[in-house]
Amino acid sequence: MIAKLIAYREKDFEFAIALIGARLVDVTLLLERLAQTSTAAPIQAERVRVWLQRNAR
């Protein structure tokens, strides 16, 4: 899921929103895993973190 969000494609956001809405993924866990991801550039990780926080509702 983190790789999909880092790719920053609309289709991946739609997929993530569906999983979050169905409570199949935990946003807190995603944020923890994002923090552990070393392959993402800091700007990419920050962009995904902000997106997750805005869409976690």
pLDDT digits (tens, 9 = 90+) for 7-43: 999 999 999 999 999 999 999 999 999 999 877 688 9
Q: Which helix (H) or strand (E) holds 36?
A: helix 27-36
Report yes or no: 38 and 9 within 8 Å, Cβ to Cβ. Answer: no
What pLDDT was estimated at residue 2? 92
- pLDDT value of position 11: 97
Residue 57 above 70 pLDDT?
Answer: no
- What's the whole-model pTM score? 0.82
Is 48 a residue whose pLDDT tops 90? yes
- H or E segment to which residue 37 belongs: none
Predicted pLDDT at 22: 95
CA distances to 10, 24, 50 from 46, rounded to whole Å, are 17, 23, 6
